[in-house]
Amino acid sequence: MEEKLLNTLIDKGLRETKPRRRDTMILYTGLEELTDQINEVEMRKLLRSLTAKGYMAEKNYDSAILCPNCASLKVYSKYSCPNCQSNYVSKVQLLEHITCGYMGSNAEFEKEDVLACPKCRTVIAETKESNVGALESGNIRIIGSSFVCDKCGSKFEKPLTTHFCDKCGSSFTYKEAVYLKLPAYELTEKVEALAPKRYVTETLRRVENALTAKGFKVELDARVKGKSGVEQRFDLTASKDQKLMLLDASAWGNQGDLISLLGKKTDVDANLIVLIDLYGSPNLASLGKPYKIAVIDGRDEKYIGVLSNLVDEMLKEEPEKRTSHLKRWLPR
């Protein structure tokens, strides 16, 4: 089942799965279809097992409060009085009418269907619901808030919080609650052995289609003979109007992929060198810039557009003296 879980993510081109709540269940994005075969507890066990084996990495993401009696997710909260534990409490806001300086509770300002200053009688807003609009206009401002118990009359700034289970009816405090951590899980490089080049292949196909549509001659898994006489391999080459672009894709954002491309760059003359970073490494772009290697973030949905702009600029460039010399490097 572990391999099926990994393949489900890989087949969808996903690198991570995140928890989300749906009704009474906790589902993981991209793995919803597996809930017919395993329950959510078994799902979390599988994810932890894959993490222990190195196929996934755990990241802090979310948490949930569960009922200590029935383990239900259908939990809601109420404020209660610290004195008598009654749930019948009201929130009181202290307002200031900026124009005349009067300060009082929101109840004092609420007169029938209007907000009006008790001191100067100015109508601040036409309805109680427009309190937010009055605040935005600067007529009144909230300068504090507190709570009052409708049962015993106690006033307090911080109420108690009581949780209630909508399934079994239990009530409980934070001390009794079950607090469940819900991490996100990210695939690691170890899955490459299970699916070699799976992430890269789909990206290269998209690039191939986009460049072919622009009139480029495109070759996947291309070999280009370098100045050293050695054939250098590139994930993709594209040529047009005696201009050559060389492209590699990095599935995991490794610096080694950039170093490899740099080595090949020194052996093969080209007008544009591109590395598509499918992992979104924060360092590759800055590392590639001094060596005139354009690093594109492959996680960005607009990466094809970014690449398209780069090749358009390449085509606009004036031919260099070495252009005729490039002919022997163009893929046949």
Burial group, residue 186, by CB count within 10 angstroms (0-12, 13-18, 19+): middle
Summarised one tens digit per residue, pLDDT across range 266-320 is 999 999 999 999 888 888 888 998 999 999 998 888 999 999 999 999 998 776 5
Can you give the pLDDT at residue 127? 58
Say yes or no to pLDDT of 331 above 50.
no
Q: Is the pTM of this model over 0.85?
A: no
Confidence of residue 38 (pLDDT cuts 50, 70, 90): confident
Encode pLDDT of 222-255 as tens digits.
999 999 999 999 999 999 999 999 999 998 888 9
pLDDT digits (tens, 9 = 90+) for 45-82: 999 999 999 999 999 999 999 999 998 999 999 999 99
Paired strand residues for 180? 64
Residue 35, pLDDT > 60, answer yes
Q: Confidence class of residue 160 from pLDDT cuts 50, 70 and 90?
A: very high
| Structure token pair of residue 131 | 């309190």
| Cβ-count burial 217-243 (b if 16+ within 10 Å, e if not) | ebbeebebebeeeeebebbbbbbbeeb
**How confident is the model at residue 305, as a pLDDT?**
94
pLDDT for the residue numbered 22: 81
Contact predicate 72/66, CB 8 Å: yes
Question: Which pLDDT does position 138 carry in this prediction?
Answer: 59
Record: fold of 198-329? Trna Endonuclease; Chain: A, domain 1 (3.40.1350)
Instruction: Check whether 323 has a pLDDT greater than 80.
Output: no
CB proximity list for 82: less than 8 A, separation 6 or greater: 154, 156, 158, 159, 160
Residue 154's closest CA among 86, 77, 78?
A: 86
Pick the closest to residue 232 from 222, 247, 220, 217 (CA basis).
222
User: What are the domain boundaries of the chain?
Assistant: 2-72+175-193, 82-158, 198-329
Q: Which has the higher per-residue pLDDT, 317 or 328?
A: 317
Band (326; pLDDT cuts 50, 70, 90): very low
Helices (H), 18-130: 40-52, 106-109
Tallying the residues shown for the chain, one arrives at: 332
What is the Cα–Cα distance from 249 to 221, expressed in whole angstroms?
Answer: 11
pLDDT at 327 over 80: no
